[in-house]
C-alpha cells in the first residue's frame, strides 16, 4: 500500500482511499532560529522526515495513510528575539488543529496522528489543548510527544540531556535530509551543553535566558548524516508504534 500525500493527490484519489481505516498524519514544525548553521525550517524538515518514515511503516502493514501538508507556523516564543522567527498565538494553533480535525471528520477520517519536531512549551501546550477537544468530538488521536518517556529515551544521549536544539540531534537529521541547507560554520561551533529542558523547568522563557545566545544547544559539530538517517528511522518507528493503538478495533 502506498502513502497518500494529500496535497499532491486529486480529490478522486482521496475519495478512493479507505478513509474509515486511514490514519491522517499531520506534521507540525515551526519557523524559528536554529543556530547560525541550520535553516529556520529545521523543525519542518524533521517533522516531514518523521511523517514520511512513519507513514511508510504503517503503509507496509497495510494501513491506509494520508499525510497532510505541514503546519509550519506555530507558537515559538523561546526564539522570538531572533531574526526570522515567526510565531503565532497558541489559540491560533488550537483553532487550526481543531478545524483540521473537523475537516477530516467531514470526509470520513476517524484517526489522526500528530507529529511534532518543535518542542517549545507553548506549542506543546496548544497541541494538548486541541487534542482534548478533538478527542471529545470523536476523533482518535495519537501524539508521540518526544519530550516524554518512552520516546525521549530512544533519541540519543544528547537528546536525553535536554541540550538538543540545533545540536547534534537536529543537525544530523538535516544533514541526512537537506545537506545543502547546513551552513559550513557548523564545523567551528563550540559545544553548548546547557540543558534547555532544565532551563524550562527553572522558568526560563527564551533561548538567551536558557544559555543559548546563538540559538543552539548541544554538539552540532559532531553531527553526521549517517546518524541522521538512523534517527529518522527511529522517529518513523516511534510514529508507527504510537499510531498502532488507533487501529485496535480493525
Angle between helix axes 168-177 and 42-60 (nearest 10 degrees) is 70
Q: Give the tens place of pLDDT for each residue, 65-83.
A: 999 999 999 999 999 999 9
Residue 17: domain span:
4-247
How confident is the chain (250 residues) per 10-residue block, as mean pLDDT?
93 96 98 98 98 98 97 98 98 98 98 96 98 98 96 95 96 98 97 96 96 98 98 98 89
**pLDDT of amino acid 49:** 98
State how far the Cα of 86 lies from the Cα of 233, in Å rounded to an integer: 29
**pLDDT of amino acid 224:** 98
- Cell triple for 168: 547534534
Residues facing 218 on adjacent strands: 192
Q: Give the tens place of pLDDT for each residue, 153-205.
A: 999 999 999 999 999 999 999 999 999 999 999 999 999 999 999 999 999 99
**pLDDT of amino acid 37:** 98
**pLDDT of amino acid 221:** 98
CATH number at residue 145: 3.40.50.10310
Contacts of 180 (CB under 8 A, 6+ apart): none
Count: domains in the chain: 1
Overall size of the chain counted in residues: 250
**pLDDT of amino acid 249:** 76
Contact 220, 171 (CB under 8 A): yes
**pLDDT of amino acid 250:** 62
Environment class of 74 (CB within 10 Å of its CB; exposed 0-12, middle 13-18, buried 19+): buried
Amino acid at each position: 500500500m502506498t502513502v497518500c500525500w494529500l496535497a499532491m493527490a486529486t480529490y478522486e484519489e482521496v475519495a478512493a482511499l479507505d478513509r474509515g481505516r486511514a490514519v491522517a498524519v499531520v506534521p507540525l514544525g515551526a519557523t524559528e532560529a536554529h543556530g547560525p548553521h541550520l535553516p529556520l525550517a529545521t523543525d519542518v524538515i524533521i517533522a516531514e522526515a518523521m511523517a514520511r518514515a512513519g507513514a511508510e511503516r504503517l503503509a507496509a502493514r497495510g494501513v491506509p495513510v494520508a499525510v497532510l501538508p505541514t503546519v509550519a507556523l506555530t507558537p515559538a516564543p523561546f526564539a522570538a528575539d531572533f531574526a526570522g522567527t515567526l510565531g503565532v498565538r497558541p489559540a491560533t494553533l488550537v483553532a487550526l488543529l481543531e478545524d483540521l480535525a473537523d475537516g477530516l471528520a467531514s470526509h470520513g477520517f476517524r484517526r489522526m496522528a500528530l507529529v511534532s519536531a518543535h518542542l517549545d512549551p507553548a506549542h506543546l501546550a496548544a497541541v494538548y489543548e486541541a487534542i482534548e477537544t478533538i478527542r471529545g468530538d470523536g476523533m482518535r488521536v495519537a501524539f508521540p510527544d518526544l519530550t516524554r518517556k518512552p520516546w525521549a529515551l530512544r533519541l540519543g544521549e544528547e537528546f536525553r540531556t535536554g541540550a538538543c536544539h540545533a545540536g547534534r540531534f537536529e543537525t544530523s537529521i538535516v544533514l541526512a535530509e537537506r545537506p545543502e541547507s547546513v551552513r559550513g560554520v557548523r564545523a567551528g561551533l563550540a559545544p553548548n551543553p546547557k540543558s534547555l529542558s532544565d532551563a524550562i523547568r527553572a522558568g526560563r522563557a527564551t533561548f538567551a535566558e536558557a544559555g543559548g545566545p546563538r540559538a543552539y544547544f548541544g554538539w552540532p559539530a559532531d553531527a553526521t548524516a549517517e546518524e541522521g538517517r538512523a534517527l529518522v528511522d527511529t522517529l518513523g518507528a516511534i510514529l508507527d508504534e504510537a499510531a498502532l493503538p488507533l487501529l485496535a478495533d480493525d
